[in-house]
Amino acid sequence: MKSLATLKNIYRGISAARHQWALAIIENLKEIGKEVKVLGDYYDPEDGWPKGLHLVIKDDDNYPQDIVIDKVKYEEKEYSNIAVHLCYWDPDKCDQWWSISDFSSDDADTILLAMQWPAKVKKGEAQPNEIEVLFAVDSEDNTKISICAMHESGLKDGSKREVIEKAVRNFLGDILTEYIEDPYEAHINDKSEEEKKAEFDETISKLASGLSEDFLWYEFYWETVTEIK
């Protein structure tokens, strides 16, 4: 069975990837500088909806409402930079701009995936790119988890050690704090707080040098992964 820490870390990876995806879309919309059409995969004029993406959302009274979204645009806002245009709210046509943050995450993803990018946004081809990924293997349940990834340019960057340390600290979370600062932990491990901090520092130094290292009940190691972009 996967630990709660493992589940949380996997979710963090999903959230981070989704955030990067949204930022890339915002960047494209800002550069395009005009509205981009939205169209559902199964749009059929015989269904009776205006041309666009049909969704069913809940109103303030928790009743389902049919809406149709036909375009999005860049608009600088405090919480979101993507504005969504509603052209239909059951039972009438309408002309309303909402923020993408007004929708559930699933509906927001559906809207963004239904965008009809103009020809100036090249389709391109996915290009393989090798990156170095730092993995951790939990010796208790043998779970393999990615901690951080670095491109070739990042390996030569002076901030490499800082990035690795932050990633490992975030991954270990309270476990690391308790190990280093808890007097009981110090007693059973027969190590002082200073010794345990030095042990962690040595672990980060080895990882920053591209080596593998065991720390607590985790094995940390680098692996070359082919990224498609």
pTM beyond 0.85, yes or no = no
Shared-domain flag, residues 213 and 136: yes
Q: Map residue 179 onto helix, strand or coil.
A: helix
In terms of residue numbers, what domain contains 205?
Answer: 125-228
Residue 88: exposure state from Cβ atoms within 10 A (0-12, 13-18, ≥19): buried
57 forms beta bridges with 65
With vertex at residue 127, the alpha carbon angle to CA 228 and CA 145, rounded to the nearest 5 degrees, is: 20
Residue 152 has pLDDT above 80, yes or no: no
Considering only 11-20, 25-34, 193-202, which range has the smallest mean pLDDT? Answer: 11-20
- R_g of the chain computed on alpha carbons: 24
CA of 42: how far to CAs of 45, 47, 49, 69, 142, in Å? 10, 10, 12, 14, 43
Residue 196 lies in a domain: yes
- Of 113, 147, 176, which residue is a domain's last? 113
Q: Map residue 202 onto helix, strand or coil.
A: helix
- Of 113, 133, 162, which residue is a domain's last? 113
Shared-domain flag, residues 34 and 75: yes
Shared-domain flag, residues 145 and 213: yes
The predicted-structure confidence for 77-119, as pLDDT tens digits, reads as follows: 766 789 999 999 988 999 999 999 899 888 999 999 999 999 8
How many structural domains are present in the chain? 2
- Give the mean pLDDT of 185-199: 74
- Of 113, 145, 172, which residue is a domain's last? 113
The predicted-structure confidence for 33-60, as pLDDT tens digits, reads as follows: 999 999 998 888 888 889 999 999 987 7
The predicted-structure confidence for 122-143, as pLDDT tens digits, reads as follows: 777 666 667 788 888 887 777 7
Shared-domain flag, residues 167 and 219: yes
How many of the other CB atoms lie within 10 Å of CB of 98?
Answer: 16
- Rounded to 5 degrees, what are φ and ψ at 56? -115, 120
